[in-house]
Every structure is written in structure tokens, then in C-alpha cells.
Amino acid sequence: MQPGKSALSGPRRAYLAPVFAEVDATISRLARKQFSIDPIVEVRYSLITSIVSSAYKRHGELSNAHLLRLLDRRHT
């Protein structure tokens, strides 16, 4: 697969469009967030750690939202 290309295309990608939109929105929110600086490490490492940690926490929320969307779709 080429860099920057998704493994998903066509109907599968269209079905996941709401998930991709939420992931994009989450990344945008994290980019704007002001994180506390850890005084033990350099500023850039402190920010990187905070952003990655926050992203991991939101990963579960995104997975749950997608699972609920999938279950709801199967019942309609």
C-alpha cells in the first residue's frame, strides 16, 4: 500500500465516514488544547506525552461510538 493511502475504499470507507469525521475532530481538539507542562522533561516531550495520552483515552470513546453505530445499524 502506498503511503497516505487508506486500506478502505468504496462502500466500506463511506460507512466509516462518521468515524473518520469524529477522529479528525478529536485530533483538531487535541491540537488546540493547552496542556500543563511537566517540569521534569523538556516542553516538547511533555506536550507529546500529553497529546498521545489524551488520544489513547479518546480511542476507547471513539471505538464505543462506532460499535453503538454498528449495532444500531444492524437493528434498523
Per-residue pLDDT, 54:
85
Q: Please, are residues 29 and 51 in contact by the beta-carbon 8 Å criterion?
A: no
Of 48 and 10, the structure prediction assigns the larger pLDDT to 48
Cβ-proximal residues to 18 (8 Å cutoff; 6+ apart), any chain:
69
pLDDT in tens, 12-46: 667 777 778 888 888 888 888 898 998 999 999 99
Per-residue pLDDT, 1:
44
Give the pLDDT band of residue 72 (cuts 50, 70, 90): confident
Q: Is residue 76 scored above 70 in pLDDT?
A: no
